[in-house]
Amino acid sequence: MLKNQVEISSKDRWLASAPPNIALIKYMGKKPQLRNVPTNSSLSYTLDHLRTYVELEVGDFSKDDWVLLESSLLMNFAVEDQLFGLELSEKGKIRYLEFFSFLKKKMNIDNYNFIVRSNNNFPGDCGIASSASSFAALTVATYSAAKTLNPEIDLSLDDLAHLSRQGSGSSCRSFYSPWTQWEESEIYQIDFPYKSLLHQVYVVESEKKNVSSSEAHKRITSSLLNQGREARAEERLKNLCRSLKQLSWKEAFCIVWAEFWDMHALFETSHPPFGYMSKGSLRVLTCLRKHWEEFDDGPIVTMDAGPNIHCLYRDDQRKMAEKIQKELKDFSVYKNYE
């Protein structure tokens, strides 16, 4: 595994973890009749400080089942982390276990039954890509178990990313770090001069979303703004890659800002309309925009399909990040620096 996956095993238990990622050019819309193949390319930054943990326990169980992973169980693997308290709906549990069944068949261990335990060290289902990290971690954990129970298996990192994509499209980007590009069936790490960025996510709401990301993919096809969406995203991707390679930070900010507003405009103009923006979202975005207007510098800002705000800073912007956090002290913030 690469450094952004953790893989630990014992005789009958296996623990794996994987990070979420934040897309700067969004994957929004799927090609019909194809399993999680995007209508446009995407570019993401991997959030290695946020994790989903998955523990698999094999035993004489009548069937596979899912239960919450408690923080104390991590100590069995000498791992210390504070877990948030993930809640899976019955529908979510069925989806997760169905994908696990798919993985077991692919890895030729479907004659075994398991207890699947999982949890996050961040709020799930609220705009931080918990689906991506959850399915990536489950894929890595299943492969870890398969290497013990079916020693002949030999899968590459690319193989695992492609398998994971069939459970959650964006999860394929969580296998690479720090930057990943996804074009139809091609997933690969991409290099930019910005190797390590400071990350903040302002959690303005931690409740579950009323409209899931999967449902959002379907609904946006009814928006008139969806016409031309693929071309706009591909053009922004080309321009963003050029900006990052040339260290044009302000241009990168402008491209990414336009991109996430484009996506949220699709939500609001669908039939029926839906949205994730809240008063808190707008308050954070206004603060960040004003900071750019005043100082002609600031973080790259984006949002996923949720109300929370992601900020990426260069390392030389650490004091700026701390200043902005003080201005937004009413909101919880997760970050990858002290």
Q: Alpha-carbon distance 160 to 172, whole Å?
A: 8
Q: What is this structure's pTM?
A: 0.92
Evaluate whether 40 touches 233 at the Cβ level (below 8 Å): yes
How far CA 270 is from CA of 97, 304, 307, in Å, comes to 31, 17, 18
Cα angle for residues 264, 270, 274 (degrees, 5° grid): 60
Least Cα distance to 214 among 24, 14, 29 occurs for 29
Q: Which residue has the higher pLDDT, 38 or 158?
A: 158
Mean pLDDT: which of 39-43, 83-87, 102-106 is highest?
102-106
In order, the DSSP letters of 266-328 are HHHTSSS------HHHHHHHHHHHHHHHHHS---EEE--SSS-EEEEE-GGGHHHHHHHHHHT
For the CA atoms of 109, 13, 61, 101, the dihedral, rounded to the nearest 10 degrees, stands at -40
Q: How far is CA 85 from the centre of its chain?
A: 18
Q: Which class would CATH give 6-189?
A: alpha beta
DSSP 3-state percent helix, strand, coil across the chain (nearest 5):
40, 20, 40
Burial class for 34, CB neighbours closer than 10 Å (0-12, 13-18, 19+) = exposed
CA separation for the pair 240, 249 (Å, rounded):
10
User: Rounded to an integer, what distance in angstroms lies between the CA atom of residue 55 and that of residue 216?
Assistant: 30
- With CA atoms as reference, report the closest residue to 137 among 79, 211, 219, 61: 79
Report whether pLDDT(129) > 80: no
Q: The sheet that has 332-335: what strands, in order across it?
A: 300-302, 309-313, 198-203, 332-335
Q: What pLDDT does residue 7 have?
A: 65
pLDDT reading at 195 higher than 90: yes
79 neighbors 8 (Cβ within 8 angstroms): yes
Q: Each residue of 264-313: pLDDT tens digit? A: 999 999 999 999 999 999 999 999 999 999 999 999 999 998 999 999 99
The CATH class given to the 198-335 domain equals alpha beta
Taking the domains of the chain in order of start, what are their residue ranges?
6-189, 198-335
pLDDT of residue 1: 46
| 2 pLDDT tier (thresholds 50, 70, 90) | very low
Residue 127: pLDDT band with limits 50, 70, 90: low
Q: Which residue has the tokens 């707008």?
A: 282
Of 293, 190, 296, 186, the closest CA to residue 242 belongs to 190
Do the domains spanning 6-189 and 198-335 agree at the CATH topology level? no
Min mean pLDDT across 120-129, 217-226, 247-256 is at: 120-129
Query: Does residue 4 surpass a pLDDT of 80?
Result: no
Half-sphere exposure of 25 (CA within 13 A, CB side): 27
With a cut of 60, say whether residue 190 has pLDDT above it: yes
Burial bucket for residue 102 (CB in 10 Å: 0-12, 13-18, 19+)? middle
